[in-house]
Amino acid sequence: MIQEKQIDIAVIGAGAAGLAAAAECANAGVSVLAIDREEVPGGILRQCIHNGFGLRYFKEELTGPEYADRVMKKAEAAGAQFCMETTVTDAKRLPDGTFSLLLLSARTGVIRLHAKAVILAMGCRERNRGNLAIPGSRPAGVFTAGCAQKLLNMEGMLPGKSAVIVGSGDIGLIMARRLRWSGVEVKAVVEIMPYPSGLTRNVVQCLEDFNIPLYLEHSVISINGRERVNSVDIAPLADGIAQTEKAFNIPCDTVLFSVGLIPENELALKLGVELNPATGGALVDADYCTNIPGVFAGGNVLHVHDLVDFVSEESARAAQAAIRYLAGTSAAERNPVKVSANLKYAIPNFYTAGRKTVFSFRPLVVCNGAELAAYLNGEKIWKRRFAHIRPAEMMQVELDETLLDKAGTLEFKLTPDYTEVEK
């Protein structure tokens, strides 16, 4: 028998994004239900036992589990409800503007949830070997970095004895250090780009401090082995093409992939949400509202962040907008936001005239010294100089409502090679 349940706001996902959103909603006095497939709230943070979290959001340095507990208790104290070990199998907007979600759980059975608004906070998933189409056999010993992290940190199982890590994303860098601490020999980290994909601090603390080789502009051209991985072949790249005549072999029994993250947007597509090709997440306005009224998005399901603190802050802003939507005071204009060739994207994708807005960017260049400038209808209205620009590090700025004082088109341009840094 299908159970029926009513709620003001349904939050899909109970990781860092969903918990922050749920806490914000509950604090405002609206009924909110956070839904997640896992047994307990916290998401991927539960397996991230290293520190470095919470410096912005909680003003102190925490491990991943500590951060998860803090934000979970914040949501619980505010009165948020949780529906764990539950999968949302269907979601649709009804003619009256409300939403119908079908929830399936071994614990509670089938629930038809009726909500006035939905906040998407499903996070992201890892790319794997299939996304890269690396040749070779299909032996045991090939993992994503996140899978290996869960095996080691939560199950207490070593993935192997010697490893090569493909990609220099932050999870891969952190796993290089974690494996070394656990007695696993990390032979190399292989990156196709001419610069690391992870944060500089992780390159230093996880590779350089342990003398782990980092091969930039190299690719794995073959994974070898029958029952189990026994080696990988690596070749340098020239103009993106593997120079196979210069290939070399590294013996190992384990290969970890840390080659980027993809927002989990299958449910968003079911709802009819329009996605942004630059991010894989939804196109959103200044209220973090998608093209479907009443559907909001925040955190890694919207665009991949480098810091969990940014995830929580952004999702809290999305929740505030959802609260305004319920109150009938949300009326965000959709004035387009564009970026120059040196920026991959800007979030939000639209701005509202006369509203203070936080913008997030992902740069496409590596440089020491650059100017980020904003142009409204072709007129330069704002600029800031940055000391260091790295694709691995998200940029975030806030523009005051007095700057965004008219409708039109807002464009951001990133110009490298400035040496002065605005304090």
Domain locations in the chain? 3-125+262-332, 128-259, 337-416
Residue 291 Cα to chain centre, angstroms: 21
For domain 128-259, the CATH architecture is 3-Layer(bba) Sandwich (3.50)
Q: Does an H or E element contain 249, and which?
A: strand 248-251
Residue 134 has pLDDT above 90, yes or no: no
CATH annotation of 3-125+262-332: 3.50.50.60
Number of neighbours of residue 72 by Cβ within 10 angstroms: 22
User: Which pLDDT band, with edges at 50, 70 and 90, does 421 fall under?
Assistant: very low
The whole-number pLDDT of residue 276 equals 96
Assigned token pair, 178? 């974690």
**DSSP-assigned letters across all residues of 368-418:** EEEEEEEEETTEEEEEEEEEEE-TTS-EEEEE-TTTS-S-S-EEEEEEE--
User: Which pLDDT band, with edges at 50, 70 and 90, does 419 fall under?
Assistant: very low
Closest CA relative to residue 128, chosen from 166, 159, 182: 166
The whole-number pLDDT of residue 127 equals 82
Closest CA relative to residue 169, chosen from 142, 218, 206, 120: 206
DSSP state of 276: P
Residue 336 has pLDDT above 90, yes or no: yes
Fill in the amino acid letter for 157: M
Residue 344 has pLDDT above 50, yes or no: yes
Q: What is the CA radius of gyration of the chain?
A: 22
Same fold, 3-125+262-332 and 128-259: yes
Percentage of the residues of the chain whose pLDDT score is greater than 90? 86
The whole-number pLDDT of residue 341 equals 83
Torsions phi, psi for 406 (to 5 deg): -145, 155
CATH annotation of 337-416: 2.60.40
Residue 194 has pLDDT above 70, yes or no: yes
Mean pLDDT, to the nearest integer, of 150-175? Answer: 94
Residue 393 has pLDDT above 60, yes or no: yes
Q: In degrees to the nearest 10, what's the CA dihedral of 9, 10, 11, 14?
A: 120
The whole-number pLDDT of residue 420 equals 44
Assigned token pair, 153? 């940190």
User: Which pLDDT band, with edges at 50, 70 and 90, does 129 fall under?
Assistant: low
Residue 66 has pLDDT above 60, yes or no: yes
Give the contacts of 4 (CB within 8 A, at least 6 positions apart): 111, 112, 114
DSSP state of 139: -
Sign of CA dihedral 251, 255, 257, 258: negative
The whole-number pLDDT of residue 107 equals 83
The whole-number pLDDT of residue 2 equals 87
User: Which pLDDT band, with edges at 50, 70 and 90, does 155 fall under?
Assistant: very high
Residue 136 has pLDDT above 90, yes or no: no
User: Which pLDDT band, with edges at 50, 70 and 90, does 330 fall under?
Assistant: confident
Residue 78 has pLDDT above 90, yes or no: yes
The whole-number pLDDT of residue 145 equals 93
